[in-house]
């Protein structure tokens, strides 16, 4: 009996947060181990369905770098990286679209639908809702910088009770353009701003932002981030992720979260508990 009472208390503790976020849009960037480990994939889908059923409006943006690498190797299509970005020619872009739109996107939507949601997979090419131009004057080939997000398309889907699952591929201006490969973090940021989401959550393979001793930093703002960059505490791949967080907040989103996608139910723990489990970024 005591165990059942504890279960009920957990639900009651979550109630204020459920009420706070009900009818609010939350953008979730889905990547890392959570997107690869079968058990974590299943738990992620169930967590998103729970958010959906309690009245929260989740929007999923996903990447897929590891699967893209695997298929490029299998097809013997060469690709290289500059400044951490995959140089994307038309052959590479074809593989990127096959993996992101044809494989990963459909896998996520199938899982969500199986567990009771109404999910729909799209790319920026659908209804041309996301447009882009070449990043840095084409230095990286078909890697794009987003110029427009048509929020009306996404808001229509949300009104119709769909969970949009978005592959980060943007449309070009010409009818025969192969499309642009977009960094998933940056795509999630732009989409969150366009929708004026309540929050954006980035699932990563770290507990959050860590100090020099490896301890979790539970909260950050612009000034703290600047100082931690300067002293080298924040470096490498965490820099563009935090830059995306700050860009989102400047655009009107209340806060951003970086959490450990390797932890089961990490989204629920971050949203529905007092202290959360990751790093929250506010202005």
The residue-averaged pLDDT of 189-210 equals 94
pTM: 0.92
pLDDT at 7 over 70: no
> Which pLDDT score is estimated for 2?
66
Is residue 65 marked as binding? yes
| 211-233 pLDDT, tens digit each | 888 899 999 999 999 999 988 88
Is residue 181 marked as binding? yes
pLDDT at 69 over 90: no
pLDDT at 236 over 90: no
Q: Which residues contact 10 (CB under 8 A, 6 or more apart)?
A: none
* CA dihedral over 76, 142, 257, 51, signed as positive or negative: negative
> Which pLDDT score is estimated for 4?
61
Is residue 133 marked as binding? no
The residue-averaged pLDDT of 98-119 equals 94
Q: Which residues contact 87 (CB under 8 A, 6 or more apart)?
A: 79, 80, 81, 140, 141, 143
CB 152 within 8 A of CB 195: no
Distance CA 8, CA 119 (A): 29
pLDDT at 3 over 70: no
* Residue 149 pLDDT grade (very low, low, confident, very high; cuts 50, 70, 90): very high
Q: Which residues contact 56 (CB under 8 A, 6 or more apart)?
A: 18, 21, 22, 23, 24, 26
The tokens describing 169, both together, are 């591929």
Dihedrals φ, ψ of 228, to 5°?
-75, -30
Give the chain's domains with CATH numbers: 24-205+253-275 (3.40.1160.10)
pLDDT at 122 over 90: yes
Average pLDDT over the chain, rounded to whole?
A: 90
The residue-averaged pLDDT of 20-30 equals 93
* Residue 174 pLDDT grade (very low, low, confident, very high; cuts 50, 70, 90): confident
pLDDT at 277 over 80: yes
* Residue 47 pLDDT grade (very low, low, confident, very high; cuts 50, 70, 90): very high
* Residue 248 pLDDT grade (very low, low, confident, very high; cuts 50, 70, 90): very high
Which residue from 163, 155, 142, 168 is spatially nearest to 49, judged by alpha carbons? 163
> Which pLDDT score is estimated for 240?
80
What is the percentage of the chain residues whose pLDDT exceeds 70?
A: 97
Q: Which residues contact 271 (CB under 8 A, 6 or more apart)?
A: 17, 21, 26, 51, 199, 201
195 compared with 20, residue with greater pLDDT: 195
């Amino acid at each position: 009996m005591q165990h059942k009472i504890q279960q009920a208390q957990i639900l009651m503790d979550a109630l204020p947060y459920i009420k706070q976020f009900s009818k609010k849009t939350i953008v979730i960037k889905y990547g890392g181990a959570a997107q690869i480990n079968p058990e974590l994939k299943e738990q992620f889908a169930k967590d998103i369905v729970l958010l959906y059923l309690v009245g929260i409006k989740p929007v999923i943006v996903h990447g897929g770098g590891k699967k893209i690498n695997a298929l490029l190797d299998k097809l013997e299509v060469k690709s290289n990286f500059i400044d951490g970005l995959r140089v994307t020619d038309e052959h590479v872009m074809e593989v990127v679209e096959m993996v992101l739109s044809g494989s990963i996107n459909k896998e996520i939507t199938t899982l969500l639908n199986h567990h009771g949601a109404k999910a729909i997979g799209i790319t920026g090419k659908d209804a041309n809702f996301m447009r882009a131009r070449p990043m840095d004057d084409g230095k990286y080939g078909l890697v794009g910088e987003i110029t427009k997000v048509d929020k009306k398309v996404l808001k229509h889907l949300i009104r119709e009770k769909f969970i949009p699952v978005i592959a980060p591929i943007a449309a070009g201006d010409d009818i025969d353009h192969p499309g642009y490969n977009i960094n998933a973090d940056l795509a999630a940021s732009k989409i969150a701003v366009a929708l004026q989401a309540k929050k954006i959550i980035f699932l990563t393979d770290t507990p959050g932002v860590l100090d020099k001793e490896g301890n979790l930093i539970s909260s950050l703002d612009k000034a703290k981030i600047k100082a931690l960059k300067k002293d080298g505490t924040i470096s490498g791949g965490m820099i563009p992720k935090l830059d995306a967080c700050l860009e989102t907040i400047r655009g009107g989103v209340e806060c951003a979260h970086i959490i450990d996608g390797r932890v089961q139910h990490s989204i629920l723990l971050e949203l529905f508990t007092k202290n959360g489990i990751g790093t929250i970024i506010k202005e």
